[in-house]
Structure 1
Amino acid sequence: MTNDERNRAVRLRHKLNKLGYTMKKTNCRRNSIDNFGGYAIIDTACNAIVRGSRFDLDLDDIDQFISQFK
């Protein structure tokens, strides 16, 4: 992951926090059926995954999710 990607992930995480969500990157290092190595969006109020239950989101998907609230 480059610095640009890290900075973008931090910015998106801050935007999600303002909306009551957070994002989590998978920490699994091996490929599996239920894990695609990406991100999931979690509702912090009920601690439930809203999007990306298989950690299949990328930063563009998260940005698109945030744009729904504008």
Structure 2
Amino acid sequence: MWILVYIFFVILIAIAYFVPKNIKKNEIYSTSIFAILFGFISDEVLDLHLNLYGYFNHGFQWQGFFYSD
């Protein structure tokens, strides 16, 4: 079952890569960097300042990026 999900995502990524884009590369990069930084900042505020969530321990954990069973 999971192999179908991976195949589907690979197909979607390939489609997104080859579709002609009407925006410049610097707009794509700046939007991507903004999205990444906004995610990190909101995670830090919600976790460290407001203590609303933490997967394993308090603070930033690299374990949250990897699959754990």
What is the TM-score with the length of structure 2 in the denominator?
A: 0.33
* Larger helix fraction of residues: 2
* Larger strand fraction of residues: 1
What is the TM-score with the length of structure 1 in the denominator?
A: 0.32
Q: Which has the higher contact order (CA 8 A, sep 6+)?
A: 1
Larger C-alpha radius of gyration, 1 or 2? Answer: 2
